[in-house]
Every structure is written in structure tokens, then in C-alpha cells.
Amino acid sequence: MPATASAPVAVTGAEGFIGSHLVEALVAAGHRVRAMVQYNSFSSYGWLETLPGEVMNDVEVVLGDVRDPGSVHGLVTGTEAVYHLAALIAIPYSYRAPHSYVETNVTGTLNVLEAVRHLGIPRLVHTSTSETYGTAQTVPISEDHPINTQSPYAASKAGGDRLADSYHASFDVPVVTLRPFNTFGPRQSMRAVIPTVIGQVAAGERTITLGDLRPTRDFSYVKDTVAAFLAVGTAPAADVVGRTFNSGTGEEISVGDLVSLIGKIMDTELEVRADQERIRPAASEVMRLVCDAGRLRAATGWAPAHTLEQGLAQTVAFFRDPLNLGRYKAGIYNV
Ligand SMILES: NC(=O)c1ccc[n+]([C@@H]2O[C@H](COP(=O)([O-])OP(=O)(O)OC[C@H]3O[C@@H](n4cnc5c(N)ncnc54)[C@H](O)[C@@H]3O)[C@@H](O)[C@H]2O)c1
């Protein structure tokens, strides 16, 4: 879909990890972006504050909140596409504050669907997560795999997904759901495993504190996940609308092996110390995730362009920059 001079695209969660990379990619593709940043009294624009001025010239920041229908209505008015990424995403925090997950991930998504429906926006990309599958029952996981929500986070995301499906079925809302598997790269929060390990090493630690080392995950470099967003956001409607697409590499690695690989890339002998606080309730821990992205590849031609090692090298370079590391709290358990 060519960028038009008149209609911007809207992004929720724009100031976050994946959202800020998506904003950059949309601007690079010639779009103007209306970026929702969650209102805060510090006037902080999150990671958008670190983007170059020439990118931000094409970005209109709108402070708002997806829990507020009027706020969402204003954001999406007059846009040609909406990328809905805003969410509460930390699993451990979802044990503590589940109501806020339902309000943000379920009601927030409902507000986006309602606005897109009533304003007749031509394309909505809704963001799901591989966590909705729970521990793999068959591998690789295709979109036909059962949904098994093992945490309040996963349940709230699945609730948003089901609303998206229902709005397509009931009101013909042109929504496509992207279901990324674990994504990593520069700007990710230290609550996620890769930044936790790299950040602790970059801060001078040689004994890394972690939770369970056994689970396996399928890690995508953030630029590949962003390419998947653009692929489903710009593909002909007949190919993608009303459908759900996994994105991931098809390769799995255990957390333990990942730590060894990071140690090798950072040229450091690492020792791992298990931290009870980071161990999740047994039935809530998703033990295995590995992606079948065949449907996305067939519909859009998308394929990952970075190996795990290449992505890790970029992420290490980011965290080794003291300016970037200084934005994090490497010494605490980030939830
Ligand atoms: N990181 C991953 O591995 C991964 C994997 C699969 C899916 N996802 C999904 O991708 C999306 C982006 O995740 P991320 O990793 O960039 O996390 P993130 O926490 O960096 O981004 C989420 C953003 O949503 C914003 N937000 C939260 N509540 C809001 C509200 N009430 N109103 C407006 N904005 C609000 C936050 O400020 C933040 O910028 C999420 O929907 C997440 O579920 C992430």
C-alpha cells in the first residue's frame, strides 16, 4: 500500500519496545505516524525520545490511554491504518495486578475495535502473542494449535484476540491479528530474558540471576517482527483480513543454552544463580514455544532476515553503550 500524503497511520504502544521500532519503520516506508503515548505527568515519550529528529518530524505524538474510548477515537480519526500494540505485557506483574491487564488488553482492544468500526478505518492490525498457546502440545505451533492461557497476561491477550475475531465476524471490521513469538532487540525491557542477561553482563556482573533455565522459546529479532507487522498491515485485504498469523523463526533454544550463547558472544564466562522470586508457578510456566510461520510466509512472502546470533550482536552493542545501559536498572528484578 503506498503511503499517502494526507492520511497518517496510527500506532498504539508507540513509545514501547516493538512500537518504537515499528514507528521508525513506518516513517522509513514514507508514512506519517500518529503515535499514542500513554499519558504520564512527566511528559515522557518513552523510547520515541531517542529517535532521530528527522524521524520524529513525521511523527505526531498524542498522549492518551487505550482504556479511554474518547482518547482512542481521537487517535484513529482520519487514519488509513491502525497498528494496535498497546498492552500490559509482563507475566509476573499480571499475577499481581490482573484487573489492570483486563482493562488494558481486553477493554483497551474493545475501544480500538469500536473506533475502527465506527470510523470505517480500512485496516486494523491487532497484536496477539504466542503466550496464548501455552506449552506446545504439538510442534511447530501453527495457528490451529489450541489456545491454553496459563497466565492472566495470556488470558487477557486471548480475550482481545477473541474480540477482534468477533468484530470481524459480526461487523466486518477489517482486522488482521499478528501473533508474534518472543521478540528481542535494543530497547526491550529488562523484564525479558535476553536484556536481563545482556544487561547484567554489560553492568559488570559475572553471576547472572535468572528463573527457570529449562523452557524453550523461539526468538525473533525485533526488525523481523516489525517486518511482519508491515507485511500484514499492507498486504491486499483478501489475503489477510479476518485472519491470524504467527510470526517466528521456527527455531527453539532453551533459556540455559541462550545464556551460554550470550556468554560466548560477550566473550565472558557466566555463572547462573537461580532466584526463587523469578520462578513462576509450575502450571503457569510455558515450557515450550516454537513457531510455524508458514501461513504468514504463504500470504505475504515474509521471512525472518536475521539469525539469533546477528540479533544478539545488535542487542549486545546497544546495551554496551553506557548511555543506553544508564536508562535501565540492571541490579534489580524488573517485573
Ligand atoms: N516483546 C515480545 O516478546 C512480544 C511477543 C509477542 C507479543 N508482544 C506484544 O507486542 C506488543 C508490544 O509489546 P512490547 O514488547 O513492545 O512491550 P512494551 O511494554 O515495551 O510496549 C507496550 C506499550 O503499551 C503502552 N501501554 C500500556 N498500557 C497502555 C494504556 N492503557 N494506554 C496506552 N498505552 C499503553 C506502554 O506504555 C508501552 O509503550 C504488546 O501487545 C505485546 O503483548 C510482545
Confidence label for 2 from pLDDT (cuts 50, 70 and 90): very low
Please state the atom number of ligand 1 nearest to the C-alpha of residue 180.
Answer: 6
Ligand 1 near 160 CB (within 6 A):
no
CB atoms within 10 A of CB 103: 16
What is each CA distance from 257 to 60, 118, 284, 301, in whole angstroms?
Answer: 42, 49, 22, 30
Residue with CA at minimum distance from ligand 1 atom 21: 16
Percentage of residues in the chain having pLDDT higher than 70 = 99
Helix (H) / strand (E) containing 239: helix 237-240
What is the distance between the terminal CA atoms of the chain, rounded to a whole angstrom?
38
Quick one: pLDDT at residue 211? 87
Ligand 1 near 85 CB (within 6 A):
yes
Helix (H) / strand (E) containing 180: strand 175-180
Of 81, 41, 75, 80, nearest to 61 by C-alpha is: 75
**pLDDT at residue 296 greater than cutoff 60:** yes
Ligand 1 near 16 CB (within 6 A):
yes
- The radius of gyration of the chain's CA atoms, rounded to the nearest angstrom, is 19
Which pTM does this prediction carry? 0.97
Å from CA of 267 to ligand 1 middle: 32
Region of 47 please: left (phi>0), alpha (psi -120 to 50) or beta. Answer: alpha
Average pLDDT over residues 176-194: 97
Average pLDDT over residues 192-196: 94
Confidence label for 278 from pLDDT (cuts 50, 70 and 90): confident
193-217+251-288+305-325 topology per CATH: UDP-galactose 4-epimerase; domain 1 (3.90.25)
Best residue among 17, 48, 71, 184 to mutate for probing ligand 1, ranked by most atoms within 8 Å of CB: 17
Per residue in 94-116, pLDDT (tens digit) is 999 999 999 999 999 999 999 99
| pLDDT greater at residue 276 or residue 167 | 167
Å from CA of 271 to ligand 1 middle: 31
Quick one: pLDDT at residue 223? 98
Residue with CA at minimum distance from ligand 1 atom 18: 16
Domain layout of the chain by residue ranges: 9-184+220-247, 193-217+251-288+305-325
Quick one: pLDDT at residue 52? 98
Percentage of residues in the chain having pLDDT higher than 90 = 91
Which phi and psi angles does 298 have, rounded to 5°?
A: -65, -40
**pLDDT at residue 3 greater than cutoff 60:** no
Quick one: pLDDT at residue 5? 57
CATH of domain 9-184+220-247: 3.40.50.720
Quick one: pLDDT at residue 1? 44
